[in-house]
Structures are given as structure tokens and as C-alpha cells.
A = this chain, B = another copy of it.
Amino acid sequence: MNRKRIRDIRNEELIEATIVAVHNHGYSVVTMADIAREAGASAASINYYFGSKEGLMEATMRHLLRKLRTAMIRGYKTSHSPTDRLYAVMDANFSDQLFTVEQCSIWMQFWANAPYSPHLARLHRLNRARVRSHFRAELRHLLPAEGVETARQALQNYMDGAWLQAALSDQPLDPVAARAAARRVVDLVLS
């Protein structure tokens, strides 16, 4: 049991260090040594845990996806109308824990590299499909059938675009303002 604990703790630490290091240096140029330095460990020990740099990156991506999913589930629990659930999806994506420059930045780096890594591409596709079906399900209750797809594209692309812009921001983000802006867009699309 304790055997597992240590491993999990170390994994978590190394993944957090990966997020910071990738944000600081960029996915394309970040080195194992950078990450190791950030984590206060050695490059060799990272390979001990994750097997390879690619394994580490994949694990980091999974970590971020899990974070997003739990944020979404949390929001859904307290929402009782289609509109509230739309707000909840937005709130999850722009939650305090997720909507930081570091994480938007690394998210975009993963997106950009997905086409060249089957693992990343698969994770990305799954996530996107899940969000899409959430949007569709709620919008169906709020709009005539022929308007659903356009509204869904407007909302989902808005989210992606907002993250993209956030990743390139040179100032700290304001999640509260982002959530308010997102709700205004939802309202605009539903009006």
C-alpha cells in the first residue's frame, strides 16, 4: 500500500513540475533536465517513473483532462436546467483551477503537437467529442433543431478561442471575468 503511495506522490510532483517547465520553456524545447530541475530530481528518475519523455507528456495530458472532467462533473451536480448546465460547462473551463496562463499554455502546446502523437490525438479527440455532446444535449432543449449545430459551434469554438488567447496572454488571467464573459456569450447565442 505504501509502495503505491510513494509512486503516486512522486508522479503528481513530477507532473506538476512538467506543467511549470513546459510553460516556462515551451513544449518544443523543454528538456528532461529542465523538468528535473523544476522537480528537484534527476532526469534519470523521471524515466524510472514514466519510461520516457513521451510517457511523461501523455501522463501530464491525462492529468489535465482529469482535472477538467472533475470540474465539469462538479458543476453539473448543482445545475438543474439546460441553461444552468451550459453555464456549468463554461464555468468548468474557466474555473479558477484550470484557467491559468500555465495550463492554457500547456494545453495549447498539447493541441499543437497532437497531430504528431497518436496518444495525444486520441485523448484530444475523446475530450472534444465529450464536450460536443454535452453542448448538443443542452442546446436541443433550448433552440429549434436547425439552430442547434450553429449555436454549438459558436460556443465550443468560443471556448477554444478564449483558451488560445489566454495562453498567449502576458498578464495573469481573471477567471471571474472570463466566466462572466462566457455567460454573456451563452446568453447572446440563446437570445
Binding site for B on A (CB under 8 A): 25-29, 105, 108-109, 111-116, 121, 124, 128, 147, 150-151, 153-154, 156-162, 164-165, 167-168, 181, 184-185, 188-189, 191
Instruction: Judge whether B157 and A161 touch: CB under 8 Å.
Output: yes
Contacts A112-B112, A188-B154 given; does A164 touch B168 at CB 8 Å: no
Q: Which residues of B contact A184 (CB under 8 A)?
A: 150
Contacts A157-B162, A160-B160 given; does A116 touch B26 at CB 8 Å: yes
Number of copies: 2
Partner of A158, one of B121, B147, B158, B181: B158
CB of A124 to closest CB in B, whole Å: 7
Identify 13 new A-B residue pairs, CB closer than 8 A, beyond the known A108-B112, A164-B164: A26-B112, A26-B115, A28-B116, A105-B115, A111-B167, A112-B112, A124-B168, A150-B184, A150-B185, A153-B162, A154-B188, A160-B161, A191-B191
Instruction: Judge whether A151 and B188 touch: CB under 8 Å.
Output: yes
CB of A113 to closest CB in B, whole Å: 6
Q: Which residues of B contact A165 (CB under 8 A)?
A: 128, 157, 160
Q: Which of A105, A160, A161 has the most CB of B within 10 A?
A: A161
Instruction: Judge whether A181 and B161 touch: CB under 8 Å.
Output: no
Q: Which residues of B contact A150 (CB under 8 A)?
A: 181, 184-185, 188
Q: Which residue of B lies closest to A143 (CB)?
A: B188
Q: Which residues of B contact A156 (CB under 8 A)?
A: 161
Q: Which residues of B contact A181 (CB under 8 A)?
A: 150, 153
